[in-house]
Amino acid sequence: MITVTDLRKVYRQGTREVVALDGVSMSVPKGSIHGIIGHSGAGKSTLVRCLTLLDRPSSGTVTIDGRELTNVKDSEIRLARRRIGMVFQHANLMDSRTTAANIAHPLELVGTPKRDIEARVQELLALVGLDQFADAYPAQLSGGQKQRVGIARALAAHPDVLLCDEPTSALDPRTTDEILDLISELTNRLGLTVLIITHEMNVVKRICDSVSLLEAGRVVEHGPLQEVASHL
Ligand code: ADP
Ligand code: ADP
């Protein structure tokens, strides 16, 4: 479960203040998928940066399963970040590393023992349906397969929350559906809490349980998919 409470972020540009987030609140239960939609400039990237601790909010809190994320000390940021797995528009894989080695990378960074990494990588390959591609390089994979690697890598360290930032914007419609169905299946299977930032209504309609519509740093509509979708 992730809870965002009255999040504000004010950027200072010289003497001018830009209010990027103006009291954003939302709550997403474990096992469900929440869509965040909004036009350019609405505050989506700022929200992502605050959730991943790349940026500190000016005020307000984010908690995951009751533990506050926003008040961790700088020295604990790296550890706290592991509670959120990130999926991006482009998987940003390392071209010189195989699928397995790309998935292993975040675990290597945190010093997981080699034997544990290998077992976990096998598990993740099976989870995203890439068992047959462990030794393939990114150049040998389709766009959808690369995104599967990205998802496996995001899940490697057992995060509670999966934060997907425009996860299908670079994919064709068929691959989009395939990746969304995978995210949906993993949400149920692993009991994840999922946030999807997107500008695509079809994404929201296919897999989100609930939605927030962001406008000028504020949530102007929120609720179950059926309710919100009927206003859009
Ligand atoms: P979105 O991702 O929905 O397009 P952003 O979070 O990027 O929206 O931006 C929200 C608002 O905050 C915009 O008005 C943008 O210009 C402003 N903003 C974002 N980042 C900065 C920054 N580093 N400095 C000043 N203003 C910023
Ligand atoms: P690099 O040469 O880029 O460091 P490696 O081939 O050494 O990449 O792989 C990095 C890590 O990825 C390995 O230590 C291992 O833990 C994991 N790994 C590589 N191939 C597999 C595989 N087929 N199954 C499971 N884990 C693998």
Does 114 contact ligand 2 (Cβ within 6 A)? yes
Does 117 contact ligand 2 (Cβ within 6 A)? yes
Q: What is the mean pLDDT of residues 45-62?
A: 95
Does 126 contact ligand 2 (Cβ within 6 A)? no
pLDDT at position 229 over 90: no
Place of tokens 């908690």: 63
> In the 8-state DSSP scheme, what is residue 69?
S
**Distances from the Cα of 218 to the Cα of 1, 25, 119, 190, angstroms:** 21, 9, 43, 31
Tokens of 119: 């077992």
Note the ligand closest to the C-alpha atom of 55. 1
* CA–CA dist 118, 103 (Å, integer): 10
pLDDT at position 51 over 90: yes
Q: What is the mean pLDDT of residues 91-120?
A: 97
Please tell me the residue having the least CA distance from ligand 2 atom 3. 97
Please tell me the residue having the least CA distance from ligand 1 atom 13. 41
pLDDT at position 94 over 90: yes
Structure confidence by residue, pLDDT tens digits, 69-87: 999 999 999 889 999 999 9
> Using N-to-C axis directions, what is the helix angle for 143-155 and 173-190, rounded to 10°?
20
Note the ligand closest to the C-alpha atom of 100. 2
Distance 101 CA to ligand 2 centre (A): 4
Q: H or E stretch including 163?
A: strand 161-165
pTM beyond 0.90: yes
ipTM of the complex: 0.81
User: Which among 139, 224, 149, 156 has a CA at the least distance from the CA of 182?
Assistant: 149
Q: Largest Cα–Cα distance in the chain? A: 56
With bands split at pLDDT 50, 70 and 90, how would you rate the model's confidence at 228?
A: confident
